[in-house]
Chains A and B, each alone.
Chain A
Amino acid sequence: MTDESRPPRENLWLLTAAPFIWLAHLLLSYITGAVWCAKIAGRGGSLGAARAAIAVYTLLALAGLALVGWRAMRRRRPVEPGPAREYDAPGDRDRFLGRTTLLLTGLSALAVVYAALVALFIRSCR
């Protein structure tokens, strides 16, 4: 790592990014489906274009999650060797946040894929 000497920017925001993407994906998919069936396709109609839209949301969400995951990975520097300590130096906290962010990214990606699976199998508004 080149910026090892610089103190890491302690930042909680990246932690919330992955769940936020999950939330946005679910809401968008849901609203698109509801509006499509209520206003355009009708009760027995085909989900058609709504499924395509959900596919696009899913690709965007997964791309976003990949980006977050990549940034989180970079924060997981190896533990600095040294005497035993409390593990709450800025570097440790940053490493912890990075790890948590990465786990949340995995969870969110799974949730996004599960939501998208519904659109893959269900073809009609029924």
Chain B
Amino acid sequence: MTRFALSSSPDTASGRRRRATIRATDLALLAGVAALVACAGPQSALDPAGRGAERIAELFWWMTAGTVVVWAAVMALAFYVSTRRREPGPRAPGVLIVGGGVVLPVLVLTALLIWGLALLPSLLAGVDAEPTLFVTGRQFWWEVVYRTSDGRVVPLANELRLPVGRPAVLQLDSHDVIHSLWIPALAGKVDMIPGRVTRLTLEPSRTGVFRGLCAEYCGLSHAHMAFVVAVTEEHEFAEWLAHQAEPASAPASPLAARGQELLLAHGCGACHTIRGTLADGDVGPDLTHVGGRLSIAAGTLSSDPRAFQRWIEAPEQVKPGVHMPAFAMLPQADREALAAYLEGLK
């Protein structure tokens, strides 16, 4: 570096240029890879796994193709104008302004408007699906309730499971501020507004694990307000739901049993419900089957014992602004016991 900077030989410039070119191609490559990677995966609207997302992706690609055509036409026109010899006729500007500035945009916008409007009813269609799902946005997690037609009410949190190939209607609400529920791979987003029920129809077309998120800034940990959506076969879904409806399993080891005692003794039950125990709070997520979730703390941590320990010790470090106090004052052994108990709640 210094050597190049000190010398003023012609090498310098070409050397720099070479490095610059390498960097430019590297960057282009990186950008290309990033772009490709961003198009696939559990949270991509361009890798759709549900009917709503498929229609939206289709619209996206048509619009992209349309803008490419418009761009090419404008470029061609600019090229033509800068190279042609003949003077334009007196009517040419008028034709260009009225045609390109009025008629064309009106046609394109009208077509897009009609397309979008025609799309809406099918995305909103409220079939009476079974079970009914209620999702309430809370700072910074999701309260989920499944209600089946035979009267079972299954309160859950931070995870959705859906059977593949049939529609599910979500009724959305908020407990505090405006949130927005978005599962890019499955459908468009719908706001969750306090005091008002909005609806979202999901119709997954293939199985898989996807990521949903909050799409409306809602406070410090907005970016950590996510959840896992698992789309499974019908029978797997039925088994899962039946299991979720059951009360919590008893602690399987002495360590876990001690964890359960500690949990009740330290007042976790004032905020959390563990069905089948004395814990029946409703400030935080239902923990009845928290160990069986694919993630904890609303899509932020994995659900292994270490993650549980970390969460109990310093939730604020994982999610700033979180509405759960830290339990760092507990001895390490107690936190381990708590984690063992929670992780065993499959």
Contact = CB atoms under 8 A, between A and B. Distances in A.
Interface in A100-126: 110, 114, 117-118, 120-124, 126
B175 to A, nearest CB: 20
Interface string B110-141: 10011001101100101000000000000000
Contact of B120 (A44, A114, A121): A121
A70 to B, nearest CB: 20
Contacts of A126: 124, 126, 199
Given A44-B126, A126-B199, A118 B106 contact: no
A8 B106 CA distance: 34
Contacts of A117: 113-114, 117
A43 B117 CA distance: 20
A43 B121 CA distance: 15
Interface residues of B, number: 12
Interface of B: 106, 110, 113-114, 117-118, 120-121, 124, 126, 197, 199
Contacts of A123: 121
Contacts of B199: 126
A122 B120 contact: yes
A110 B102 CA distance: 11
A121 B117 contact: yes
B113 to A, nearest CB: 6
B117 A118 contact: yes
Contacts of A122: 117, 120-121
Interface string A45-73: 00000000000000000000000000000
Contacts of A43: 197
24 contacts: A43-B197, A44-B126, A110-B106, A114-B110, A114-B113, A117-B113, A117-B114, A117-B117, A118-B117, A120-B117, A121-B114, A121-B117, A121-B118, A121-B120, A121-B121, A122-B117, A122-B120, A122-B121, A123-B121, A124-B121, A124-B124, A126-B124, A126-B126, A126-B199
Contacts of B110: 114
B319 to A, nearest CB: 34
A126 B124 CA distance: 7
Contacts of A121: 114, 117-118, 120-121
Contacts of B197: 43
A66 to B, nearest CB: 18
Nearest to B118: A121
A121 B126 CA distance: 16
B169 to A, nearest CB: 11
**Residue with the greatest number of chain A CB neighbours at <10 A, chosen from B110, B117, B120, B126:** B117
